[in-house]
């Protein structure tokens, strides 16, 4: 893996209006020697939602109280120097690819190349449909939007002609600092994710772990596309806080271990970050 020799450790949190605010969180993450900060995305939650929450039970209010991730990450970029700044995940299906390409490129330039674009297709049908998105074809649309953004990031006169995304040559600057654009990580655990990572992504960011035969399936999918698993970044979301389990995930091949923390005020969040930083020191030896 890209970081297998020196695993990285990060934090993900819903950046809500009730929680420690993004800049304070980013500074605290960087000050404690951690390596990355990821924010998820939901533009809104329909009050008449019928789609069940994948986590079971009632949907937590953090899902409709979060800042826009790119506004929040832009503020974090200005207040930090080192940590990677990522989405975990960006709901590409709900965004215009030309606009999103510019937002991501701008953030990458302003942060001096510290962006990771974690993406997914989402689970909330009603939320997507409010944006005019086609739920049934969401993964096909995500694929085309990602490929279109990569074309914009890489070419002075970019064009894309697909089934769902179609535009003639355009000019769009700034270009990202990272050649070809920030790494795109797919956040999903389905049986199709391996082929999708192999097709158009730079990394995989499952929640919790690999699942049965996950590494073998990913390796096979990549080899079928002429790619190597060593060239793909592996980010584990919901990383365990038990030191032996954490070491086990690193041995499985994860090179970015991202701890999930609740969206609490600073007085609760900062001590939690202290504990996680101590855990990281213990793992690093």
What confidence tens digit (pLDDT) does each residue in 55-65 have? Answer: 999 999 999 99
Mean pLDDT of the chain: 95
Average pLDDT over residues 170-189: 96
Chain centroid to Cα 266, Å, comes to: 23
Q: Report the percent of the chain where pLDDT is more than 90.
A: 92
In the chain, where the domains are located: 8-284
CATH number of 8-284: 3.20.20.30
pLDDT band at 1 (very low <50, low <70, confident <90, very high): very low
Name the 3-class secondary structure at 37.
strand
Model pLDDT, residue 189 = 87
Average pLDDT over residues 249-274: 96
Neighbours of 24 (CB within 10 A): 15
- Range name among 114-118, 143-147, 171-175, 229-233 with the lowest pLDDT average: 229-233
Model pLDDT, residue 5 = 60
20-47, pLDDT tens digit by residue? 999 999 999 999 999 999 999 999 999 9
Q: Report the percent of the chain where pLDDT is more than 70.
A: 98
Distance CA 79, CA 73 (A): 10
- Sort strands 115-120 and 203-204 into parallel, antiparallel or unpaired: unpaired
Average pLDDT over residues 254-268: 97
Chain centroid to Cα 202, Å, comes to: 11
Name the 3-class secondary structure at 66.
strand
Contact 114, 108 (CB under 8 A): yes
Model pLDDT, residue 115 = 98
Neighbours of 157 (CB within 10 A): 10
Among positive and negative, which fits the CA dihedral 207, 208, 213, 219? positive
- Sort strands 84-91 and 233-237 into parallel, antiparallel or unpaired: unpaired
Model pLDDT, residue 171 = 98
Contact 38, 283 (CB under 8 A): no
Distance CA 91, CA 77 (A): 21
């Amino acid at each position: 893996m890209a970081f297998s020799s020196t695993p990285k450790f990060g934090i993900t949190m819903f950046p809500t209006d009730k929680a420690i605010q993004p800049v304070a969180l980013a500074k605290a993450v960087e000050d404690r020697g951690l390596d990355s900060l990821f924010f998820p995305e939901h533009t809104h939650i329909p009050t008449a939602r019928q789609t069940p929450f994948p986590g079971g039970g009632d949907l937590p209010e953090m899902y409709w109280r979060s800042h826009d991730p790119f506004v929040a990450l832009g503020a974090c970029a200005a207040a930090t120097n080192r940590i990677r700044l990522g989405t975990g995940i960006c709901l590409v299906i709900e965004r215009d690819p030309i606009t999103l390409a510019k937002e991501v490129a701008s953030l990458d330039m302003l942060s001096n190349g510290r962006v990771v674009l974690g993406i997914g297709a989402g689970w909330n049908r009603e939320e997507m449909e409010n944006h005019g998105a086609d739920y049934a074809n969401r993964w096909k649309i995500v694929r085309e939007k990602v490929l279109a953004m990569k074309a914009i990031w890489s070419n002075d006169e970019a064009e894309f002609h697909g089934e769902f995304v179609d535009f003639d040559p355009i000019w769009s600057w700034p270009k990202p600092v990272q050649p070809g654009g920030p790494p795109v990580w797919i956040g999903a655990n389905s049986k199709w994710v391996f082929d999708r990572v192999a097709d158009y992504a730079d990394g995989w960011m499952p929640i919790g772990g690999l699942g049965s035969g996950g590494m073998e399936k990913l390796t096979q999918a990549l080899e079928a596309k002429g790619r190597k698993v060593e060239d793909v970044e592996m980010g584990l979301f919901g990383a365990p806080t038990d030191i032996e389990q954490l070491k086990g995930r690193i041995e499985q091949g994860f090179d970015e271990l991202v701890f999930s923390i609740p969206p609490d005020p600073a007085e609760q969040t900062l001590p939690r970050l202290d504990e996680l930083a101590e855990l990281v020191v213990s793992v690093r030896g």
